[in-house]
Amino acid sequence: MNTATPARRRGKAAPAVSAGPFIQCRNLTRTYKMGDTEVKALRGVTLDIREGDYVAVMGASGSGKSTFMNLLGALDRPTSGELVIGGERLSGLSADALAAFRSRMVGFVFQQFNLLPRTSALDNAALPLVYAGVPAVERKRRAEARLQQVGLGDRMDHQPSQLSGGQQQRVAIARALVNDPRILLADEPTGALDTRTSAEIMAIFDRLNADGITIILVTHEPDVAEHARRKLTFRDGVIVEDRT
């Protein structure tokens, strides 16, 4: 499954050694057809993101930021334009090829956690490995390691309903990390959490980024965006502000 990935560049030195843009967007557009009317969600986005960067994406609802995130996460394909991530051109890939790409490159964290109900934290965290073809023993080992990493080593057998919101989001982060992805995409990861818990989650993100993983997160909250090194602001399908 992972053999196609080029040599991993991770660890503390990652940002320094990244050569060339990790993510290249060239004039990306995405148009939805809703009946007879066309909705232009993205109207031409061009930018590069280095590996190991920490990017906050902001903008009002309907500004195109979610569409942009879906493209970066290989959940969707651009209507036109070029998207290259880690040397792979995503524009023309089939649905299954996109799934394979997600499986080895991307981890997702959602606002609503999206954990499987009545399923233990361990099994939730191990879910992506099931689809990566990892044997059961190895799945358990890796999921355990990731749960330890997010501070849930003592809650592995708990089901989501037995966990607080912050704990559930940590399970979701462990799940996003279990495949050793190179990009972590987070869509309002603290949107459903109180201030103190939000701070804990953001501390985890900071640590992960320091370890070399590229993080791109959507947020409304300025203090969450402050954690990032780079802020992109969307309006009407284009980037209106790109601040480092």
Partner 1 sequence: MNPLAALPVALNSLRVNALRSLLAMLGVVIGVGSVIVMVSISEGAKQAVEQQIASLGANLLVVRPGSSAFGGRRGGAGTATLLTDADVDAIRNEVANVAAASGEIGSSAAMVAGGTNWTTRIQGVNEDFFRVRDWRLERGRLFTAEEFRAGARVAVIGTTVAEQLFGVSDPVGQVVRIGNVPVEVIGVLQSKGQSAFGTDQDDVAFMPATTARSRVIGFTFNQRDPVFAIYVELAGGANPAHVQADIEELLRIRRNVLPGAEDNFNVRDMAEFIRARNETAAQLGLLLAATAAISLIVGGIGIMNIMLVSVTERTREIGLRLAVGARRRNIRDQFLIESVTLCVTGGLIGLLAGVAGTMVVEAMGQFPVAIHPMVAGLAIGSAAFVGIFFGFYPAHRASRLDPIEALRFE
**Which positions touch partner 1 (CB under 8 A)?**
70, 73, 75-76, 95-96, 99-100, 102-104, 108, 110, 114, 116, 118-119, 127-128, 130-133, 175, 179
Return the number of the residue (16 or 95) whose C-beta is nearest partner 1: 95
> By C-alpha distance, which of 65, 23, 76, 74 is closest to 41?
65
Question: Which among 51, 103, 49, 55 has a CA at the least distance from the CA of 75?
Answer: 103
Q: How far is the CB of 189 from partner 1 (least distance, A)?
A: 14
Q: Which is nearer to partner 1, 14 or 178 (CB)?
A: 178
**Closer residue to partner 1 (CB): 20 or 133:** 133
Q: How far is the CB of 103 from partner 1 (least distance, A)?
A: 3
Q: 206-210 — which CB contacts under 8 Å span 24+ positions? A: 206/54, 208/173, 208/177, 208/184, 209/52, 209/54, 210/12
DSSP state string for 151-167: T-TT-TT--GGGS-HHH
With b for 16 or more beta-carbon neighbours within 10 A and e for fewer, the 22-49 pattern comes to: bbbbbebbbeeeeeeeeebbbeebebeb
For partner 1, give the closer residue by CB, 79 or 119: 119
Give the nearest distance from C-beta 112 to partner 1 in angstroms.
8
Give the residue from 127, 121, 129 showing the smallest Cα distance to 157. Answer: 121
Cβ atoms 20, 84 nearer than 8 A: no
Please, what is the minimum distance in Å from the beta carbon of residue 170 to partner 1? 16
Q: Which residue lies nearer to partner 1 by CB, 14 or 143?
A: 143
User: Rounded to the nearest whole angstrom, what is the least distance from the CB of residue 185 to partner 1 in the complex?
Assistant: 9
